[in-house]
């Protein structure tokens, strides 16, 4: 230790003079004499920091905090980590500011995490934890394995920065602005008039005007199915026989959205409003009149016939999982106009299911359109 004191002072002088070459030579000399000395280890980390080897510097400071009890060394190690964190924060803020300054960067938007493979989860969780500044276990709980996960909302520029950071850890995601979702129009399909050779239907546009379209089947790029609960309040009795009202699910409304990508339209069908007694019949002639009045049977047959014509299109049907996640974003859901037109009792007007359905379908639509245009751009 006596021999190391003079060299320590020389290292301090070299650091103050920013003579990092000299500092390295002195550290190499010291390493031969006393490599376990806490001061030596501290100045190795300081040299890494000075020469912009940020990860090695951080690792060196953290090791000192775990295994050293010399107060002055511990204090300087903490100061070193604080400098590194301040630098990282400044870089992050600058990058976010640049993204927000780009076109659309200040717009309100959302970011969705795409599923990762189970084999990738451990490594991804460790990286994700550094992004979220939390532990790997908590981070891992937020990584989806089977379906999309709505992760965060806010300024689109900030979300784009987050997306770029996630890509470095092989965590795929995508960002969309709320405006992109709101620009997608919805047609409420009332009757299907023809299935061959093209889809011909009648419905109501967003102004409640009757419209009729002919759609070539190849132009239906995707279709989305799901169920929305219909609630009722029933009178129940508790253990003491005291009556109270309990909310129950009375039934489920069946929904099917056809995405007409070329026209930026969603063709929305649901079994509560579709006029099964008009237009093309989907039931077999052998079925009796009572069976023909069953909405469920009619709906199932309609879905079967649609599926025969949509084998080329991707089907999405994981709405329930998405909705359970989306309920954690009430601010976003309040901005969504559901356009599902289900009758709801006054006490159930604010259910999250309706806006979650519209959000789910429009996110799929907008992401599919972006992916399509990116593929065209790459070809050209």
- Name every residue whose Cβ is closer than 8 Å to that of residue 318 and which is 6 or more positions away in sequence: 146, 147, 148
Range of lowest pLDDT (145-149, 309-313, 376-380): 376-380
Q: Is residue 274 within 8 Å of 302, Cβ to Cβ?
A: yes
Using pLDDT thresholds of 50, 70 and 90, give the confidence band for residue 233. confident
Q: Is residue 164 within 8 Å of 345, Cβ to Cβ?
A: no
> Exposure string (b/e) for 64-101, b if CB count within 10 Å is 16 or more?
beeeeeeeebbebbeebbeebeeeeeeeeeebbeebbe
Give CA–CA dist 227/33, Å, rounded.
73
Task: Report the top-level CATH class of 4-98.
Answer: mainly alpha
Q: What is the mean predicted confidence (pLDDT) over 87-112?
A: 89
User: 186, 174, 167, 185: which is closest to 109 by C-alpha?
Assistant: 174
Quote the pTM value. 0.80
Enter the tokens of residue 271: 């079994």
Instruction: Write the pLDDT tens digit of every residue in 13-71.
Output: 999 999 999 999 999 999 998 999 999 999 999 999 999 999 999 999 999 999 888 99
Pairing verdict, β 185-194 and 173-177: unpaired
Enter the tokens of residue 228: 């929305």
What proportion of the chain, given as a percentage, has pLDDT over 70? 91
Three-state DSSP at 212 gives strand
Long-range contacts made by residues 333-337, C-beta under 8 angstroms, separation at least 24? 333/359, 335/108, 335/178, 336/181, 337/182
User: 181, 221, 203: which is closest to 358 by C-alpha?
Assistant: 181
Enter the tokens of residue 354: 């309706």
Instruction: Write the pLDDT tens digit of every residue in 333-376.
Output: 999 999 998 876 554 556 899 999 999 999 999 999 877 655 55
**Domain boundaries along the sequence of the chain:** 4-98, 108-180, 184-379
Three-class SS string for 26-64? HHHHHHHHCCCCHHHHHHHHHHHHHCCCHHHHHHHHHHH
Instruction: Write the pLDDT tens digit of every residue in 249-269.
Output: 888 999 999 999 989 999 999
Give CA–CA dist 223/297, Å, rounded.
20
176: β partners = 110
Give the domain 108-180 fold: Ribosomal Protein L30; Chain: A, (3.30.1390)
Asked if residue 5 has pLDDT above 70, the reply is no
Give CA–CA dist 170/273, Å, rounded.
44
Q: Is residue 241 within 8 Å of 227, Cβ to Cβ?
A: no
Q: How buried is residue 323: exposed, middle or buried, by Cβ count under 10 Å (0-12/13-18/19+)? A: buried
């Amino acid at each position: 230790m006596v021999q190391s004191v003079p060299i320590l002072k020389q290292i301090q002088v070299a650091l103050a003079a920013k003579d990092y070459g000299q500092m390295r030579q002195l550290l190499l000399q010291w390493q031969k004499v006393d490599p376990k000395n806490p001061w030596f280890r501290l100045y190795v980390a300081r040299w890494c920091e000075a020469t912009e080897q940020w990860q090695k510097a951080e690792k060196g400071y953290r090791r000192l905090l775990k295994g050293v009890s010399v107060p002055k060394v511990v204090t300087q190690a903490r100061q070193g980590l604080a400098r590194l964190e301040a630098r990282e924060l400044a870089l992050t803020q600058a990058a976010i500011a640049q993204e927000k300054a780009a076109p659309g960067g200040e717009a309100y938007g959302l970011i969705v995490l795409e599923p990762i493979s189970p084999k990738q989860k451990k490594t991804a969780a460790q990286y994700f934890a550094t992004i979220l500044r939390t532990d790997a276990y908590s981070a891992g709980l937020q990584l989806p394995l089977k379906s999309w996960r709505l992760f965060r909302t806010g300024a689109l520029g900030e979300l784009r920065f987050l997306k770029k950071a996630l890509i470095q850890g092989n965590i795929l995601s995508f960002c969309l602005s709320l405006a992109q979702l709101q620009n997608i129009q919805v047609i409420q399909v009332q009757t299907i008039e023809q299935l061959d050779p093209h889809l011909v239907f009648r419905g109501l546009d967003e102004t409640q005007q009757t419209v009729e379209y002919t759609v070539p089947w190849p132009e239906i790029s995707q279709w989305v199915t799901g169920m929305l609960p219909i609630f009722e309040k029933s009178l129940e009795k508790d253990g003491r026989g005291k009556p109270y009202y309990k909310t129950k699910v009375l039934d489920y409304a069946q929904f099917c959205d056809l995405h007409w990508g070329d026209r930026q339209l969603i063709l929305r069908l649901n079994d509560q409003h579709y006029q099964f007694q008009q237009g093309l019949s989907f039931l077999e002639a052998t079925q009796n009149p009572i069976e023909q009045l069953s909405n469920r049977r009619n709906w199932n047959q309609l879905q079967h016939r649609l599926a025969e014509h949509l084998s080329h299109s991707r089907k999405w049907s994981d709405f329930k999982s998405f909705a359970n996640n989306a309920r954690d974003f009430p601010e976003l859901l309040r901005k969504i106009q559901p356009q599902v037109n289900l009758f709801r009792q006054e006490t159930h007007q604010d259910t999250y299911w309706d806006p979650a359905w519209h959000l789910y379908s429009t996110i799929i639509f907008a992401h599919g359109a972006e992916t399509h245009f990116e593929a065209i751009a790459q070809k050209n």
